[in-house]
Amino acid sequence: MTPQKNNPLTEARHRLRELRALSTVSAPPSLLENVRTQLGPGDSYAVLQTPLGALLVAYNDIGISTIRLDTTPHDFERAFRLRFARPIRQVQALPPPLADAIQAHMRGEQAGELPFDLRSLKPFERAVLHKALEIPRGEVRPYAWIAREIGRPQAVRAVGTALGNNPVPLLIPCHRVVRSDYRIGDYIFGQALKRAVLDEEGAAPDILEELGRAGVRYLGDPSDGTFCLPTCAGMHRRNDPQLLKLHSEHEATNAGLAPCDACRPTLIT
């Protein structure tokens, strides 16, 4: 006798019973923990009003994951999912301690370190951003300085790419990194905002660019025998005729000056 073909309805019912049976099986705690680890904590975001405009801030249990200025919640969520491939939800407001810390940070007050979630970045990118965090308010550093400081002196272009990929601009101050000729360079929020933020912080970008056009790379202080990057301790804003405008490290050493221990100016060009 020829075997009868399986009835599609019977097969569907059998499959349904199998799925129901599977649904009653509890997953081992270790598996659940692994899933949580892979998925990561959920992200929330809220709008924070700042002097620069409406700042959309995403955060999770690790820290601030990304920010954007003056965009719509729809566009913010879409960009977040495209970049991070995980869900995000809007909440009414940031946790007050986080909101207060961000506002204090933007005012330049000492409010402790902000927590950041940089898991999506490669080790090189994280190294670049951690180094950018060391640049004091009111000062700038060239891209080449970052490259040298992280032990990759030939990776100047890659440093620029990493800074352009900064998920938390403003708070991780990639705006404080400029070209070696002290032109301010590109910025995710536009050059006009970069210039305005640097000016508000006291970096005086107009003075910097004027020095750069004149070929000045360092400023020397004969009174303490050192030479510095122009913004170190606000040297470029000092109306001091004793300061030396130096065009190269060779010129600085010929003047008997040693590199500053604070800004570590050597070998950036």
Report the pLDDT value the prediction gives residue 197, as an integer from 0 to 100: 97
pLDDT under 50 in the chain at which residues? 1-5, 8-10, 12-40
Report the pLDDT value the prediction gives residue 29, as an integer from 0 to 100: 47
Report the pLDDT value the prediction gives residue 194, as an integer from 0 to 100: 97
Same structural domain, 190 and 225: yes
Burial of residue 224 (number of CB atoms within 10 Å: 0-12, 13-18, 19+): exposed
Residue 17 is assigned to a structural domain of this protein: no
Same structural domain, 172 and 99: no
Report the pLDDT value the prediction gives residue 38, as an integer from 0 to 100: 42
Question: E strands within the chain?
Answer: 43-50, 53-59, 64-69, 88-90, 141-142, 177-178, 218-221, 226-228, 244-246, 258-259
Same structural domain, 99 and 69: yes
Report the pLDDT value the prediction gives residue 110, as an integer from 0 to 100: 65
Same structural domain, 131 and 213: yes
SS3 (DSSP) at 53? strand
Report the pLDDT value the prediction gives residue 173, as an integer from 0 to 100: 97
Provide the pairing of β-strand 53-59 with 64-69: antiparallel
d(CA 170, CA 52): 10
> Domain residues for 200?
123-259
Per residue in 112-161, pLDDT (tens digit) is 689 999 999 999 999 999 999 999 999 999 999 999 999 999 999 999 99
d(CA 24, CA 99): 43
Looking up tokens 């940070």 gives 105
Residue 220 is assigned to a structural domain of this protein: yes
How many domains are there within the chain? Answer: 2
Report the pLDDT value the prediction gives residue 31, as an integer from 0 to 100: 36
The whole model's pTM is what? 0.83
Residue 102 is assigned to a structural domain of this protein: yes
Per annotation, catalytic residue among 174, 228, 260, 263: 174
232 as an active site residue: the answer is: no
